[in-house]
């Protein structure tokens, strides 16, 4: 997964929206679906491993 390409190195947004505070606005299930389903174009679908998804959720909680 390369989130920084669209969301910036610090998650502040570029092509994609800012991810700052996203874990306070969306549930973990919603975030997983966003990543795996690519619900909002131009977000592509990703298929991270369970460990990659857990790492991503932990990272998002830090933003």
Q: pLDDT tens digits for 18-51?
A: 999 999 999 999 999 999 999 888 999 999 999 9
pTM for the model stands at 0.88
Distance CA(6)–CA(17), nearest Å, equals 8
What single-letter DSSP state applies at residue 4?
H
Torsion angle in degrees (nearest 10) through CA of 47, 10, 30, 52:
30
pLDDT over 90 at 56, yes or no: yes
- Cβ–Cβ < 8 Å for 5, 21: no
pLDDT range class, residue 13, cuts 50, 70, 90: very high
pLDDT for residue 41: 86
Domain ranges of the chain: 22-63
- Distance of alpha carbon 39 from the chain centroid: 11
């Amino acid at each position: 997964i390369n989130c920084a390409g669209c969301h910036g190195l610090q998650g502040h947004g570029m092509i994609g929206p800012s991810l700052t505070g996203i874990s306070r606005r969306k549930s973990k299930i919603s975030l997983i679906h966003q990543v795996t389903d690519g619900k909002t174009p131009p977000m592509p679908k990703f298929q991270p491993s369970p460990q990659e998804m857990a790492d991503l959720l932990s990272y998002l909680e830090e933003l």
